[in-house]
A and B are shown apart, each in its own frame.
Chain A
C-alpha cells in the first residue's frame, strides 16, 4: 500500500520536475532578453531539480542512496539560486540593461573589447536579438 502511494507520488514529482525543466528550456529559447531568459532558466531549474531529486528520494528506500540524494538536494539548494544570482549580478556589473531601459551602452563603448571577464554588453544584447 505505502509502496504504491510512494511510487505514484514519486512519478508525479518526476513528471512535474520534467515539465518544469522543459518549460525552463522553452523560456530560455523564446524569451526576448537576457534577464527574463535567465529568470526562466534559473527558477525552473531550481524547482525542477528539487522535484526530480525528491521524486527519486521517495523510491530510494532507507539507505546510503537516500542520504546521498539528500546531500545532492542540499547542494542544489545552495548552488542553483546562487548561480542565477551571480549571472544576473555579473550582467548588471557589465552594464547590461534591458533593451529600451535607458542608460545602457554609454559605458560599454568605453570598454576595451577582448575582455572575457564579462561579456561585452552590446555583444550579448545583439546576440539576444538574433
Chain B
C-alpha cells in the first residue's frame, strides 16, 4: 500500500492542531481539537481519527508523523518535572544558585528569583578537575562517586545532571561518573553537560543540563504513550519530533535531549515561513505570530531562520530578560513580547496608557467575550476600531459583545483619561503596536540587519490584524498572510527537514591553533549528526545530506562573538587565516568596522547536519470551494494614515481567488483571523492563495500630512 501522507500534530496549551498532507497531490487536511492536559494522547486520538477518515486514509498510509508539543515548556513553568539532583566539580555546586549575580530589574528591592530545579540539598560535589584545555588536574574520585549512589537513592532522586568544569573540552570525567552511577542506579536518568550543552560558561551549561534532566523522565513516558497510540492507529514507523533548532529528529534523540524540544510549536511556525518563502521566492522574512497572550517574532534570512544559543524558561517577571532559568541550546531565535489579543490596557501611575504584559487569557478573556472580563483588551479595541465583526469571530462560532467592549473602555480608560472611547481604542492599538515594533527593532539591531529588506509574515489569531501597521511603521517591504493562517505551525511540521544542530566550545586564537584540532571538533559533531540522521531514517551516505559548519568568532578581548559560516571550500582548505578574513568581513558588514590588527579568537564551533526539506507543494487552503462575490459587507474602520474612521469593504478570504487585487483600506475575514490593510496597502492573492499586502513607500508621509491637517492650532 502506498504511504503518501505526512502527518503533523502540534499540542498547544489550548488546542491541538493537526495537518495531513498528501505529498503526491498536495492535498491538505486540517483539524483542531481541545488539548487534553491530563493525557495529551487522548486529544491526539480524538483529532486524528476523524482527520484520517476525512482523507480516506489509514495509519498505514502515513509515511511520517511529526510532533510538536508544549509539554516540555509547561513542565518547566509549572515545575512538574522529576526530582532532580546535580553533581558538580568539588567547590562548584552552588554556581547553579548564584547565577550571573546581575539583577534583571535595577530598581526593584523586592526582586523575585525563579525557584531552582535542584535545591542545595540535592546538589552534590565530587573531587575531579580539568584545566581549560581539558587536561586532568585532579583525577575523578571514583570511590566518592560510588558512595553517592545510596545517597541519591535515599533522596528518591529520579533524574541526575552531571556538570563538571571544562567538560566541553573533555567529557571523560562526566562520562565515567555517569557510567558508574548508571550501573548502580538503573532507574535514574542521567544528563551530561558535555552532551546536552557542551559550551563554555559553567552556569548556563549547568542550568541547561539540570533542565534537561528535570524533564527527561516525563518526556520519555509521554513519548512512549504517543508512540503506542500511533501504533494503535496502525502507523508503522517511528515518531519524529520538531526540535528547537528548527529541524526534526527521531524519538530517541528527543528522549535523550528533551530540552531540545522547547518551543517546538512556535518554531514550527517559523519553519512554515521558510516553506512559504520558498514557494514564492522570498528568502527574507520576519515571522510574526500574535496570539492571545504573546507575540512571537523571528527572523528568516536567505531561507534560514536566525538562531540563537540562549533562551530562558519560566521567567518570574513576565518578559523580563534575566528573570528565568537560562538554557543554552541552538534554537531558532524567538522574541516573545507580552502583546496579544487578551493583553490588558490600563492607566499607569503616571496617567499614561499601558498595554500588557498582563493578559485576560482565555478566561475570562476580553470584555467583549462576555464571560465576565471587565478589563479592556486589545481584542476589545480592535472591535471598537471596526477591525472585527462581532458576529464573525472564529468564523462566527463566537459572538463578541461590542457594548461590553465599549463599556470596559469607557470605565477603565476613557473616563479617567478624559478621552473618547474611540481615542482610547486607537491608543490601545498604537501602544501595543509600539511595544511590538520596539522589540522587533531592537532584535533586528542585535542581529545587525535592516528590517526594510524584509517582509512581515503574519499568522496567529491576532497577527494579521496588526501586521499592516507594524510593517508600515517599520518600513518593511510588505505583509504576507499565508493561506490557512490558522494552521501555520502545523504546516511547518510537515514541511521541515530532518536536521540537528551541535555546538561545542573551543577557546583559542586562530593564529595559535592547529587546523587539525579545530577540524577534529567539527568532524566529531558531523559524525554525531549523521548518527542522528540515521536514527531518523536518513542514510548517512545520501548525497543530499548537508553538513554546515559555523564558528563563533571575535576580536581577541571582545566580549561578544559573531557567528560566521565556514563555506565548504574554506573548510576543505583548512586555512585559519582565511577564516580570520571571513570574520573581519562579517564584522565589518554587521558593525561597519573590523580591527585587522587584532587576532581572531574562536569561542564555539557549530555544525548543522541536515537532509533536504521534503519537496511538497501544498494546495491553497484558503481559496477552495466557494463561489460568489468576495465582498461580504462594509463597515467603518480606523486607520492611522487617515487619522480617523474610513468606510471599509470587508472581504471573505475563502472567496478571494488567485490573482485578485484590492486597494486598501480593506478587511479580509477568514475563520481564524482577520486581515486588516490600511489605505496605503494594496492587496493581492498569489497563485498559491497567499495574501500579500504591498505598502506604498510614501505611506509614512501621508500619515503626517493627515496628522498635521487635524492637529490643533
Q: Does chain A bind chain B?
A: no
